[in-house]
Amino acid sequence: MFILQRLSKFPQNLHCIKNVMQRYPKRNESFLSSPGPSSMLKNVVKASLVGISIGFPVGVAITMSYSWYINKEASKTYHLEGKEEKIEIIQKKPLVPISREVVFPVDTTDLKLTLFQYQTCPFCCKVRVFLDYYGISYDVVEVDPVLRKEISWSTYKKVPVLLAQVDSGYQPLNDSSMIISLLASYLKDKSQKIDDLVECYPRIAMHDENQKFKYEIMNKYFLMYKGNLPSDKYMDEIIEERKWRKWVDDIFVHTLSPNVYRTLDEAYRTFNWFSEVGKWEEYFPTWERLIMINIGAIAMWLISKRLKRKHNLKDDVRQSLYDEINKWLHAVKKHGNTFMGGEKPNLSDLAVYGILKSIEGCNAFEDALDNTKLSTWYYAMTFLKQESSTENVGMIFDVNKTVKYAFVTTEGCLWPILRSRIGRKYKQNGHMSMLELQYVTAERQYSSSNSKQELLHTRLVKIFLEICDLMPGLAWTQV
């Protein structure tokens, strides 16, 4: 009402100004004629007043209309505020071809999991790092990042989506942090059922500070101990772990896109790397792969500019990435151990590692290694310690049940060969034969001892033969 009253007085104000201007002599009546100084001043003032008289009401009208639209849209969902949306169990598994299987022969979880993912999505990498670290077998469905037809069955249109087989069907699990917390809770107490644990992470409707409607998963950084706090955990450690896991999602991950898509050329190189490590040539037709690369690169290059402003990154976005990495490394150093979790990684270590793993083939990652002290912690994580000292071989199979890759756990150390620099040292595309795998692993751990190297080589052969006995239908691909 106040604005309307002021606008109603605007013509009167214009009339007063006009009377004042009429006191000056009119040297030139035509606006198009060559004006004198006073006439030019008059025309400038006149044009300014006309602009204000038009622009101000239009601006007010647009602002009021936008506010009205936002409030109207928000009002449609106000009745949902605070209500829970159940993640319903589906009765049948979606008829989507499995891209590959990751199998840990000593997996004792009895979980049947299918991960719908983009290979280089930071949040998907977080989940894979967790599953690999704890030796949990799972199937992988590679999702087209543009068309996303592989998750058309799901109301949740983001990745990762983890589908867990339960007694009454298949339970979808959404949001990487919720997935990790739920599975970590299950590993602490396997008497808990997956579909029961889902109830501990309700999905609640709410509006953010901009009145945008969304669903937020509650407790997603909390493990469900059921009142039985682990003897090796202190409450301050648990709180610290939650804090850094949340930092990964709220702050750190937002430094990635503006860095890996910093220029159009960098965006294309990033998407070509995505295509290589994601095996898009195997899983998608050529036309679809070209759309994914070209449309994806251009779109993300443009979006990255908006993300830079939204998350208040520095003009040199590399510096923002380095700053957050240094913040993490400082916190790890403050704890006085190799990892944030102490002598072995905790969930915050795995989260940071997973996020960085997603850009491992990008220029931004190489620059981070060169301009920070990241490499010490990162490569300690690359060869991280397992929860169990049991010897283990993790293998990835293609759709024809042929072994495509392997990564070996020996004496409690995980040796991932998939995309590590060691793997690229021997085979540019990351594929390795078993003999090369044995040699690289032995060379890395026992480079100064031939006898120990020979001993480890013998043990690895024994492990591999045992795996072949367990799975006689498998063939090893020599590459």
**Nearest in space to 379 (alpha carbons), one of 359, 407, 353:** 353
Please give the radius of gyration of the chain, using alpha carbons only, rounded to the nearest integer. 30
Catalytic residue among 104, 124, 378, 464: 124
> What is 53-68 written as a DSSP string?
HHHHHHHHHHHHHHHH
Alpha carbon of residue 262 to chain centroid: 17
Known catalytic residue: 124?
yes
CA-to-CA separations, 311 to 252, 257, 318, 324, 451, in angstroms, rounded? 10, 11, 14, 13, 54
Give the Cα separation of 268 and 76 in Å (integer): 41
Helices and strands: H and E segment counts in the chain: 18, 12
Residues whose CB falls within 8 Å of the CB of residue 30, separated by 6 or more in sequence, listed in order? none
Give the Cα separation of 132 and 348 in Å (integer): 15
Catalytic residue among 116, 123, 221, 365: 123
Residues whose CB falls within 8 Å of the CB of residue 171, separated by 6 or more in sequence, listed in order? 87, 89, 163, 164, 165, 194, 195, 198
Known catalytic residue: 215?
no
Token digits of residue 306 = 């908006």
Q: Return the exposure string of 157-183: e unless at least 16 CB atoms fall within 10 Å of the residue's CB, then b.
A: eebbbbbbebeeebbbbbbbbbbbbbb
Asked if 139 and 130 count as a contact pair (C-beta separation under 8 A), the reply is no
Known catalytic residue: 118?
yes
Known catalytic residue: 362?
no
Catalytic residue among 116, 121, 130, 378: 121
Asked if 302 and 294 count as a contact pair (C-beta separation under 8 A), the reply is no
Catalytic residue among 116, 118, 274, 322: 118
Give the Cα separation of 169 and 158 in Å (integer): 21
> What is 289-340 written as a DSSP string?
HHHHHHHHHHHHHHHHHHHHHHTT--SSHHHHHHHHHHHHHHHHHHHTSSBT
CA-to-CA separations, 154 to 86, 136, 151, 283, 414, in angstroms, rounded? 13, 24, 5, 20, 34
Report helix, strand or coil for 36: coil
Residues whose CB falls within 8 Å of the CB of residue 212, separated by 6 or more in sequence, listed in order? none
Cis upstream peptide for 57 (omega within 30°): no
Give the Cα separation of 262 and 272 in Å (integer): 15
Catalytic amino acids? 118, 121, 123-124
